[in-house]
Amino acid sequence: MGRHPGSYNGCAWIATYNALLILGEHVHPAELIRNYQLTGGTLINGEFGINPSAIRNDFENRGYNVTMASLPSSVDDHIRASTVSILTYAHSSGAHTVMVYYDNNNNVFHIYNEGGAGSTSTAPGVQESFDEWLESMNGYWMISTIGIR
The pLDDT of residue 117 is 43
CB 117 within 8 A of CB 9: yes
Is residue 8 scored above 70 in pLDDT? no
Q: How far is CA 27 from CA 83, 98, 128, 135, 140, in A?
A: 18, 18, 30, 34, 32
Q: Which residue has the higher pLDDT, 70 or 114?
A: 70
Distance CA 65, CA 5 (A): 35
Q: How many residues does the chain have?
A: 149
Nearest one of 9, 119, 77 to 137, comparing CA atoms: 119
Three-state SS string over 50-114 comes to ECHHHHHHHHHHCCCCEEEECCCCCHHHHHHCCCEEEEEEEECCEEEEEEEEEECCCCEEEEECC
* Per-residue pLDDT reduced to its tens digit, 48-106: 567 788 888 889 999 999 998 877 678 899 999 999 999 888 777 677 888 998 999 99
Comparison of pLDDT for 49 and 45, the residue scoring more: 49
Task: Answer whether 75's CB lies under 8 Å from 87's CB.
Answer: yes
Q: Which of 9, 11, 13, 16 is nearest to 84 (CA)?
A: 16
**Could you tell me which residue, 134 or 105, shows the higher pLDDT?**
105
| Average pLDDT across the chain, whole number | 78
Could you give the domains of the chain? 11-148 (3.90.70.10)
pTM score, whole prediction: 0.79
pLDDT of residue 49: 67
Q: Are 79 and 67 in contact (CB under 8 A)?
A: no
